[in-house]
Amino acid sequence: MQNQHINKLGYIFSDDCDCKKILESAFSKGADGIINDLIYSGLRGRGGAGFPTGLKWKFAKKEQCDTKYIICNADEGEPGTFKDREILTKVPRKVLGGMTMCAMATGAKQGYIYLRAEYKYLVKELEKEIEEFKLVQKELGIDFNIDIFLGSGAYVCGEETALIESMEGKRGEPRNKPPYPIQDGYLGKTTVVNNVETLASTMVVFRIGAKSYKNLGTQEQKGSKLFSISGDSPREGVHEIELGMSAYDFVKEFGDDDTKAIQIGGVAGFCVPRKKFKTTIIGTGNTTGGSTMLFNSSRSMYNVLHNYLDFFVEESCGQCTPCRIGCQQLLKGIEAVKSGNKPPKYLNQLLKLADTMNMTSKCGLGQSVTNSFTSIVKSFREEIIY
């Protein structure tokens, strides 16, 4: 029997969604009605940081700015994440519907889909969908244009302010925050940046009703969400799961009976060892991106960690020292411990360095390195040392 968290779902990919009808009923509530329903539903951003979506729209509506923008973040550079691609391929209308709803709620007239450069092959189909959707917008009397902007090919460009910098033709480097994009976004104007899945989920909220949505999930995390499942799993792919599932149930459902660890939230997230499966809930906290990688006993966690650090060294934009130098030092450090050139206790110094990076790095990239580093080193120390 399938787990109750999975069985009844399929909201995001369901094709019984009449976007025009949903938008019509949402519009009848007015901008404040839309925002209040979203706040009530408990929907949080699905891009990683988990900020309440209704609140973000409320702040954007409040801003007295002559021009406002909506950006759909489809950069999807987190290793192990491929759910947004699936949404844009299978149900792009829900994303266009979510953007249009956001425009209605905030007063924006222009939207962009910031599309990962590797997803260029989707452009033609998306342009066709946007063109067809204009008819729905016209029938609803909404003046909102959507264009596609091809991403700049770096993981950090998924960070909302780096994304905006790159759209403005500059190097894709994160800005200091505050000010946030709501106050000072694209071209200095009020800008809502939302993840692809977040926007599609707003359509789910208005299809099933804010109350039904709120009834899904847990006290802290409402609704259902998509998980990109990869690694040692016989069921790799994108699956929709009600929030609140334990890692133990998740592994029962998607593991290969030999799972020794799951990486939750991509390389920016946490590695959970088998002994913590029963006490860990997946998809909560700041790991709402939905990447879940399963590792069985054939995998070396040293190699896994080495792979992550290689990625961070490559993708650090180099703007701030803790991240630029810290990533390199962590990588060199574990290599030295593994080869016996440094004693195992050197790992304690590396753990302190990772914590310092967390406190002093400028953006989420450098701040999150400590998550995977610390969780792997603490749980799989014997696999890291010589």
Ligand X SMILES: Cc1cc2nc3c(=O)[nH]c(=O)nc-3n(C[C@H](O)[C@H](O)[C@H](O)COP(=O)(O)O)c2cc1C
Structure tokens at 132: 């067809």
Q: Residue 323 is inside which H or E element, if any?
A: helix 321-339
Q: Least separation, in Å, of the C-beta of 168 and ligand SF4?
A: 17
Q: Residue 249 is inside which H or E element, if any?
A: helix 247-254
Residues 206-265 that bind ligand X (CB under 6 A): none
Residue 180 has φ and ψ, to the nearest 5°, of -90, 165
Q: Least separation, in Å, of the C-beta of 163 and ligand X?
A: 7
Instruction: Quote the distance between the C-alpha of residue 170 and its chain's center.
Output: 23
What is the pattern of x (binds ligand SF4, CB under 6 A) and - over residues 149-168?
-------x------------
Q: Which residue matches tokens 């499942």?
A: 229
DSSP-assigned letter for residue 113: E
Q: Which residue matches tokens 């149930």?
A: 249
Sign of CA dihedral 42, 47, 48, 54: negative
Q: Using CB distances below 5 to 8 A depending on partner kind, what does residue 46 bind out of ligand X, ligand SF4, none?
A: ligand X
Q: Identify which of 287, 291, 335 has the alpha carbon closest to the alpha carbon of residue 310.
A: 335
Q: Which residues pair with 226 in a beta bridge?
A: 240
Quick one: angle between helices 196-208 and 30-41, nearest 10? 100
Q: Using CB distances below 5 to 8 A depending on partner kind, what does residue 160 bind out of ligand X, ligand SF4, none?
A: ligand X
Radius of gyration of the chain (CA): 21
Euclidean distance between CA atoms 91 and 88, whole angstroms: 6
For residue 285, state whether it binds ligand X (rule: CB under 6 A). no
What is the pattern of x (binds ligand X, CB under 6 A) and - over residues 36-75?
---------xxxxx-x---------------------x-x
Q: Least separation, in Å, of the C-beta of 374 and ligand SF4?
A: 17
For 81, left (φ over 0), alpha (ψ -120 to 50), or beta?
Answer: beta
**Number of residues near ligand X (by CB under 6 A):** 23
Q: Using CB distances below 5 to 8 A depending on partner kind, what does residue 361 bind out of ligand SF4, ligand X, none?
A: ligand SF4
Q: Least separation, in Å, of the C-beta of 330 and ligand X?
A: 17
For residue 362, state whether it binds ligand SF4 (rule: CB under 6 A). yes
Q: Using CB distances below 5 to 8 A depending on partner kind, what does residue 151 bind out of ligand X, ligand SF4, none?
A: none
Residues 274-333 that bind ligand SF4 (CB under 6 A): 316-320, 323-324
For residue 363, state whether it binds ligand X (rule: CB under 6 A). yes
Q: Which residues bind ligand SF4 (CB under 6 A)?
A: 156, 174, 316-320, 323-324, 361-363, 365-366
Q: Which residues bind ligand X (CB under 6 A)?
A: 45-49, 51, 73, 75-78, 155-156, 158-160, 193-195, 198, 363-365
